[in-house]
Structure 1
């Protein structure tokens, strides 16, 4: 899936497709709040299997009644090659390895306090996440993230001028506060200054 299709999906350009993707994702996450992942996967597999078996039997009966020789209704899909090529696997495994190494280097930099300001920002972020974790579990955060992913781009697109204005105000205030704190606390100035 390319970036253009993802943007069209998130901005609700094709309402039916976006509705199906959003609804299926939300249904899956809400199902996981009630049942275990094993149960949800087995229920989805059973539902899909019951639809395909019913359709296969229906087409077989229809062919017998009409005395036609159309063949297997899923022949087109059975003939398609669904195997992954080595190039695709190598490409994505190399990309994952590169990102993992970048993450490890960044965590090493933060935990070993290469830059005091960045390490303190990381500590504040972890402190905030501690409270978020106490309020929400991971599944709830995934549900909220899915809803935000499908609603925030549309809201921003419709109210871009007002949102940009308030973001600029908040950004200015945060920069002023960070500047004042860095000026008052010894050892908090950045290396580049």
Structure 2
């Protein structure tokens, strides 16, 4: 199936917004209905990340501009796919091993840390994409959305870099890094609806 560059970009935008919306839904289920199985949300995200990586890489290759932004989204999707994959396949087996043998508890903790490390790295790349596309949006006349996207992108880069460098209990709480990544995804999506990557 052949997709035009414009249509590909629109699909990427919808995917980014869908991924962002899934985060508050997951949090709401955790707070309101903790007994509900929320793994289907992770599986949903995993599938979207696979498709997002492919479409974003395609957009980066064929783009007349914004190639850096599209490639950053593609790599972010792959890193977040790794984070989700570790969560789905490794968290519980390693947790069981840690419970059975206290000497191996740190191994389970390290798997979780690797997942979040990959997640924060993905958010840095989303921040980079937000800066690239937000700047382009500002230059095209969308000053409010463009500037907001650029600012949030810069904050996502800074916040997630600090979390990666200094850990969950460092200068920036881990949820701040996650929140900036989610907000960057929404704003990137909004920018994509109005930019023309084929110009």
User: Which protein has greater RCO, CA pairs closer than 8 Å, 6+ apart?
Assistant: 1
TM-score bin (small chain):
under 0.3
- Could you tell me the TM-score, scaled by structure 2's length? 0.22
- Could you tell me the TM-score, scaled by structure 1's length? 0.23
